Chain A
Amino acid sequence: MSTHSQTPTLSSNAASATSHELVIEAGRSERHYYLDLWRYRELLGFLAWRDIMVRYKQAALGVAWAIIQPVIQVTLLTFVFGKLAGMPDGGVPYPLIVICGTLAWQFFATAFSGAGQSLVSNTNLISKVYFPRLVIPMAALGVALVDFAITLALALPVILLLGPGIGWQLACLPLFILLGLLISLGAGLWIAALTVRFRDFRFITPFLMQVGVFVTPVGFRTDILPGWQSLLALNPLAGLVDGVRWCLLGGHTQLYLPGLGISLIVTAALLLSGLWYFRRVERQFADII
């Protein structure tokens, strides 16, 4: 599907009613896909807004959900890693290490599972309306951003109160949020497309989460494990967690740059392959969903 020869007509209504020729042919959907995606940015916004509204309207406890789960997780992980395993804290109160790790992890978990389930939960849209299907998993990231903003707002006072103080590093936080979005999208695209094709991939997400929380340095700092840093960095979430911790704790944990580099490369690979697979199966979605 492509759009070319844009000739604006003197249409009385709607400024966007430009007349354009569109040719639909088998296997022609490749061209101008991303231009189309840009055209549908408003829909992206509306779908994200819908998900956010629904999430906070439906739940009686509303915002509380975004808090209860992380609080329990922080308590548990502090106990397991800080007390039981006796991991070194490097001069930072142990709960803070876990709080920062959990913030990053929770952000990823919400974004990833949202994007992964997004296609199946929007079946009716896919079988009834055309738009670039990438809009759906991308819109699902919106909820994760809002959740993250809420939990961050609640965690910041604790970090300021107990912590060694924050610094200029905080300004880098948006970059790491972007990294988190890209990781979630890359992994989410794979799961979303695979779930349409094979419904049992739905059950893989919770499993991945359970494993993920332990292979990701959520409950411990990586700079105290020099030998493991490069290996851990193969999990792009390690780069994310380290980065968020570094931003929020004012540089009192070290940012291992080679590790971050590896994480970035893995993220890029994940995202590009995810896009490739998603685009490959996208045109069959309506037929098999």
Chain B
Amino acid sequence: MTAPILEVSDLGKRYIIQHEAQHQGTLRDTLHQGARQLWRRLRGRDRFEKEEFWALSDINFAVQPGEVIGIIGRNGAGKSTLLKCLSRITEPTRGQITLRGRVASLLEVGTGFHPELSGRENIYLNGSILGMTRAEIRKKFDEIVAFAEVEKFLDTPVKRYSSGMYVRLAFAVAAHLEPEILIVDEVLAVGDMQFQEKCLGKMQDVSRGQGRTVLFVSHNLGYVRQLCPRAILLDRGKIVADSDTSEVLKVFSSKTVVPPHVQGAPKGPRITDIAVDPELLEHGDIAISIAFESPYVIQKPYTGITILNELGHPVLGTDTSSDPINDLKPSQGGTFRLLLKAPPLASGRYQINAWLGQNGRGEDDHWPSAREFHFPGHRIRPPQFSTELAGSIDIGGHWTLL
């Protein structure tokens, strides 16, 4: 067995949050704070309150040459910090990273592009910033231009490019990097659908065809599933799961903590609880109850929900305006109940967004990702019919051969 191309052991990154000095950015502030600190110390008081924040801690993993690994996690889980440590932009506080190969990191599309320079000039500049040599860029130049489809505008300053052209050119340069280890952060989320597909294809070439080692961060779980056989799940700076992507995605969706509900106006009507009836769910029906309370009597209480699939795409929605309640009474609290009888949804994980209000306007409270549930579906779809491929609706079909 060969040595891992990338080894991370006991990695930690600490940031220090200063509470009292919020803007420590100017000399004046620093002098001011220094003087106060000195004064406090002279009087024997505490020093300024500093809070340590470990953006990453106890990170351990190894990557074999040719592996393609997805790194997933919610916002603030430490994905970007990890990539920044790996690509040497910021220094770790603890631990060690061993890299056995040339690394290129792509944390942003078009880093260093200058609007005044022409497309041709920017290809050289950006390529060099990303770590290509002049000779390499020259060799790949035609390929890059062809991929970006900007032949006609090579000598136009990129400030006159459409945003689509700009992004295409930027991605094209990056896609032609030839490092042994490629670190990519959320860069596929650019351009139109067609170009995204093209980028995805290029990424697949890079990883499968050319045997490159790739670390790939994305919020789009569909891309992660498609590109990466293995995934690492980060949560609050720690590795929670590191295994086959499908396993990790399961952990991810079960682990997804319900975000703490930020209440609506402090003294206004608010949603107090949302529940999905587990028994009915087993039978293929979805019953959602939304409990609410209000400091005053609401004349026409109003609520609504949308259901999102595991990719975060909305699949259906309903509210009490489109499907009115017959005997709506003024109320100061209570529980709405919604029954979705045998919805034609495929088996999978779904999320509920809910809102509350009055007179047909849901302005009093909004609770995104309030609950998550697993819908059994009417049948198990074959594994290649993933949500990103076949969508969330599964109504079957009648095939015949004529």
On A, residues with C-beta under 8 Å from B are 1, 13-27, 29, 42-43, 46-47, 49-50, 53-54, 57-58, 124-131, 198-201, 283-284, 286-287
Q: From B90, B107, B117, B157, give the contact of A287 (CB < 8 A).
A: B90
A129 — which chain B residues lie within 8 A by C-beta? Answer: 87, 89, 105, 107, 111-112, 129-130
Contact B27 A200 (CB under 8 A): yes
A125 — which chain B residues lie within 8 A by C-beta? Answer: 111-112, 129
Q: From B89, B98, B116, B135, give the contact of A58 (CB < 8 A).
A: B116
Chain A minimum-CB-distance residue to B89:
A286
Q: How many CB-defined contacts (below 8 Å) exist between A and B?
A: 120
CB distance from A132 to the nearest CB of B (A): 10
B27 — which chain A residues lie within 8 A by C-beta? Answer: 198, 200-201
Please list the 8 inter-chain residue pairs (A to B) with the smallest Cβ-Cβ separation, ordered nearest first: A130-B88, A198-B27, A24-B97, A46-B128, A22-B99, A128-B111, A286-B90, A283-B91
Q: Does B335 contact A (CB under 8 A)?
A: no
Contact A128 B107 (CB under 8 A): yes
A/B interface sample: 21 pairs, CB < 8 A: A17-B102, A17-B180, A18-B102, A19-B100, A25-B96, A25-B97, A26-B92, A27-B91, A46-B125, A50-B125, A124-B111, A126-B89, A128-B107, A128-B108, A129-B105, A129-B130, A130-B105, A199-B25, A201-B27, A283-B91, A287-B15
Query: A145 CA to B86 CA in the complex, in Å?
Result: 36
Query: A201 CA to B26 CA in the complex, in Å?
Result: 8
Contact B99 A200 (CB under 8 A): no
Q: Does B133 contact A (CB under 8 A)?
A: yes
Chain A minimum-CB-distance residue to B7:
A23
Query: A20 CA to B116 CA in the complex, in Å?
Result: 37
Query: A47 CA to B107 CA in the complex, in Å?
Result: 20
CB distance from B270 to the nearest CB of A (A): 39
Chain B minimum-CB-distance residue to A44:
B128
CB distance from A140 to the nearest CB of B (A): 14
B94 — which chain A residues lie within 8 A by C-beta? Answer: 26
Contact A23 B96 (CB under 8 A): yes
CB distance from B33 to the nearest CB of A (A): 12
Q: Does B331 contact A (CB under 8 A)?
A: no
Query: A131 CA to B103 CA in the complex, in Å?
Result: 12
Contact B84 A46 (CB under 8 A): no
Contact A43 B178 (CB under 8 A): no
Contact B88 A24 (CB under 8 A): yes
Contact B112 A124 (CB under 8 A): yes
The residue in B30, B95, B134, B178 that gathers the most chain A C-beta atoms within 10 A of its C-beta is: B178
Chain B minimum-CB-distance residue to A7:
B100
Contact B133 A14 (CB under 8 A): yes
Contact B99 A43 (CB under 8 A): no
Contact B128 A42 (CB under 8 A): yes
A14 — which chain B residues lie within 8 A by C-beta? Answer: 133, 136, 178
A198 — which chain B residues lie within 8 A by C-beta? Answer: 25-27, 30
Q: From A21, A49, A53, give the contact of B98 (CB < 8 A).
A: A21
B15 — which chain A residues lie within 8 A by C-beta? Answer: 287
Chain A minimum-CB-distance residue to B97:
A24
Contact A21 B93 (CB under 8 A): no
Q: Does B375 contact A (CB under 8 A)?
A: no
132-152 of chain B: CB within 8 A of chain A: 133-136
B93 — which chain A residues lie within 8 A by C-beta? Answer: 26
CB distance from A57 to the nearest CB of B (A): 5
Q: Does B45 contact A (CB under 8 A)?
A: no
Query: A42 CA to B133 CA in the complex, in Å?
Result: 7
B97 — which chain A residues lie within 8 A by C-beta? Answer: 23-25
Q: Does B114 contact A (CB under 8 A)?
A: yes
